[in-house]
Structure 1
Amino acid sequence: MRALVVEHGEAGPVRFADVEDPVPSGDEAVVEIRHIGLNFGELNYIDQWPAGAVHGHDAAGVVIRAAADGSGPPAGTRVAVGMAPHAWAERVAVRPASLGTVPESVDLAAGAALGIAGVTPLRVLRRRSLLARDVLVTGASGGVGRFAVQLAALAGARVTALVGSPDRAAGLRDLGAGEVLTDLAGTGRRFDLVLDTVGGPLVEQAWRSLAEGGTIHLVGYSSGQATTFPPGELFGFGEPRAIATYGDMTPTGGELTDLLGLMAAGKLTAPIGLRGDWRDVGDAVRALFARKVPGKIVLDVL
């Protein structure tokens, strides 16, 4: 079967290769993949994975063999695969804990857009009540950011979306952002929660706009820059503020099911900015790195 494997060097970050069909263990289902979802981190930091390994974590398809132990969905079930290894192949073996059942009313391709981009903000935003609180989402035009804006608004937050340029702001108010900014310098708001996907100097700026008792959750570092705090910046009186890391890669089936339920109810949309053929993955990767695509890139496995 064909798969996208890790390629180090100028020809990368991925290439097509013929690989062996998966041999499932007793607690794994075999899924025929129909769509894959690209993520910036797994493609930009490709050296973290061994060359030649089947790459990718997010996809969607149909179960063609149920797990032998009887767990998980039966054959014929449409499923989303989230944060599971080796997902960018024609067929993958997956534990049911990493699968979410896609309702018939939801486009299967939308399931491939979830995974890392949808589960990450859901887990962060569930950590505290957001009703009538001020939430800042940085890098709001990306896949994680567009899901975060929608989910925070659904939870009753007053959402501010921060983007890198005015042309990246399109559609964010329709998703639930009450305010869209390109710079934090002029805002007088104090945020109870900051979901940061950018890192670098922006974290220090967000810290200065953080309310007492507030938290910055670091879920990405797309800027690739260091964060530096001036002397005394992290000292203060009043209710403690915090910076929290995020690195939870535990099974995502429950969250995928919740997100797909919101989609079926018409409360959440998949922010797919580019849909194409996986044979054109090179063009899709270049568009992703050039920041030319708002939201997610989903490729059809043909």
Structure 2
Amino acid sequence: MRALVVEHGEAGPVRFADVDEPEPSSDEALVEIRHIGLNFGELNYLHLWQSGAVHGHDAAGVVVRAAADGSGPPEGTRVALGMSSHAWAERVAVSPASLGIVPEGVDLADGAALGIAGVTALRVLRKRSLLARDVLITGASGGVGHFAVQLAALAGARVTALVGSPDRAAGLRELGADRVLTDLAGTEYSFDFVLDTVAGPLLAQAWHRLAEGGTIHLVGYSSGQDTTFPSGALFGFGESRSITTYGDMTPTSEDLTDLLGLVAAGRLSVPVGLRGSWLDVDDAVQALFARKVHGKIVLDVV
């Protein structure tokens, strides 16, 4: 069967290859993949993967063989894979713990866009009550950002979306943002909760705008820049403020089910900014790295 595998050479970051058919263990389902979802992180940090390994974490498809031990969804079930391993192949053996059932009426391709981005946003924003809180989402035009703006608004927060340029602000107010900014410099707003996907100098700026008792959750560093705090910036009186890292890779089935339920109910929009064939994966990767896509990239397996 065909799959997208890691390529560390100039032809990378991924290439097509013929690989062995998966052999599911008794507690794994065999899923025929129909769509894959691309994420910046998994393509930018390939040094963590062995060359030639089937790549990818997010996908969606149909169960063609249920787990032999009776766990998980039956044959014929439409499913989304989230934070799974080796997902970008024509068929994948996967634990039911990484599967969410896609309800009728929800586009299967939308399921491929939820995994890393949607689950990350959901888990971080569940860390504390957001009702009537001021929440800042940085990198709001990206995959995590699009989901985070919507979920924070659903939770009753006053949402500020921060983007890198005015042209990346499109649609964010419609998703629930009360304010859309392109810079924190000079702003008088303060925030109880920050979901930061950018890091770099912006992280230090967000720290200066963090209210007493507030928390910054780090979920990415798309800027690729170091963060430097001025002398004394991390000292202060009053209720403690904090910066928290994120790297939760626990099973995603329940979170995917919750997100898909919100999509089915019309309460969550899936931000697919680019849809195409996986045969055009090189063009899609270039668009992702060039920041030309607002939201998620979903490619059809053909």
Distance apart, 1:47 and its partner CA:
1.3
Q: Which residue of 2 aligns with 1:265?
A: 265
Q: Provide the C-alpha distance between the structure 1 equivalents of 2:72 and 2:45, rounded to a whole number of angstroms.
A: 32
Partner secondary structure for residue 87 of structure 2: coil
Distance apart, 1:87 and its partner CA:
0.2
Q: Which residue of 2 aligns with 1:66?
A: 66
Q: Provide the C-alpha distance between the structure 2 equivalents of 1:199 and 1:36, rounded to a whole number of angstroms.
A: 27
Q: Which residue of 2 aligns with 1:220?
A: 220
Q: Provide the C-alpha distance between the structure 2 equivalents of 1:127 and 1:166, rounded to a whole number of angstroms.
A: 30
Q: Could you tell which deviates more after superposition, 181-190 or 56-65? A: 181-190
User: What's the CA shift string for 1:85-131, capped at 9, x where partnerless?
Assistant: 00000000000000000001100000000000000010000011000
- What is the RMSD of the two structures over their aligned residues, measured on CA atoms? 0.4
User: Is 1:55 matched up with 2:55?
Assistant: yes
Q: Which residue of 1 aligns with 2:83?
A: 83
Distance apart, 1:48 and its partner CA:
1.2
Q: Provide the C-alpha distance between the structure 2 equivalents of 1:26 and 1:200, rounded to a whole number of angstroms.
A: 45
Q: Which residue of 2 aligns with 1:173?
A: 173
Q: Which residue of 1 aligns with 2:138?
A: 138
Q: Provide the C-alpha distance between the structure 2 equivalents of 1:301 and 1:124, rounded to a whole number of angstroms.
A: 31
Q: Which residue of 2 aligns with 1:147?
A: 147
Q: Which residue of 2 aligns with 1:11?
A: 11
Distance apart, 1:190 and its partner CA:
0.9
Q: Provide the C-alpha distance between the structure 2 equivalents of 1:147 and 1:187, rounded to a whole number of angstroms.
A: 24
* Aligned ranges 1:151-166 → 2 under 5 Å: 151-166=151-166
Q: Could you tell which deviates more after superposition, 154-163 or 181-190? A: 181-190
User: What's the CA shift string for 1:184-208, capped at 9, x where partnerless?
Assistant: 0132111010000001111000000
Q: Which residue of 2 aligns with 1:250?
A: 250
Distance apart, 1:35 and its partner CA:
0.2
User: Is 1:211 matched up with 2:211?
Assistant: yes
Q: Provide the C-alpha distance between the structure 2 equivalents of 1:223 and 1:65, rounded to a whole number of angstroms.
A: 42
Q: Which residue type is aligned with residue 114 of structure 2?
A: L
Q: Which residue type is aligned with residue 59 of structure 2?
A: A
Partner secondary structure for residue 256 of structure 1: helix
- Unpaired runs of 5+ residues, structure 2, are none
Q: Provide the C-alpha distance between the structure 2 equivalents of 1:94 and 1:193, rounded to a whole number of angstroms.
A: 35
Q: Which residue of 2 aligns with 1:21?
A: 21
Q: Which residue type is aligned with residue 92 of structure 1?
A: V
Q: Provide the C-alpha distance between the structure 1 equivalents of 2:8 and 2:251, rounded to a whole number of angstroms.
A: 28
Q: Which residue of 2 aligns with 1:100?
A: 100
Q: Which residue type is aligned with residue 21 of structure 1?
A: E
Partner secondary structure for residue 35 of structure 2: strand
Q: Provide the C-alpha distance between the structure 1 equivalents of 2:111 and 2:227, rounded to a whole number of angstroms.
A: 34
User: What's the CA shift string for 1:24-65, capped at 9, x where partnerless?
Assistant: 011000000000000000001111100000000000000000
Q: Which residue type is aligned with residue 285 of structure 1?
A: V
Q: Which residue of 2 aligns with 1:301?
A: 301
Q: Provide the C-alpha distance between the structure 1 equivalents of 2:70 and 2:300, rounded to a whole number of angstroms.
A: 29
Q: Which residue of 2 aligns with 1:121?
A: 121
* Aligned ranges 1:273-284 → 2 under 5 Å: 273-284=273-284
Partner secondary structure for residue 137 of structure 1: strand
Q: Provide the C-alpha distance between the structure 2 equivalents of 1:223 and 1:189, rounded to a whole number of angstroms.
A: 23
User: What's the CA shift string for 1:156-198, capped at 9, x where partnerless?
Assistant: 0000000000000000000000000000013211101000000
User: Is 1:33 matched up with 2:66?
Assistant: no
Q: Provide the C-alpha distance between the structure 2 equivalents of 1:143 and 1:82, rounded to a whole number of angstroms.
A: 14
**TM-score scaled by length of structure 1:** 1.00
Q: Provide the C-alpha distance between the structure 1 equivalents of 2:215 and 2:8, rounded to a whole number of angstroms.
A: 37
Q: Which residue of 1 aligns with 2:235?
A: 235
Q: Provide the C-alpha distance between the structure 2 equivalents of 1:127 and 1:293, rounded to a whole number of angstroms.
A: 29
- Unpaired runs of 5+ residues, structure 1, are none
Q: Provide the C-alpha distance between the structure 2 equivalents of 1:279 and 1:145, rounded to a whole number of angstroms.
A: 27
Distance apart, 1:82 and its partner CA:
0.2
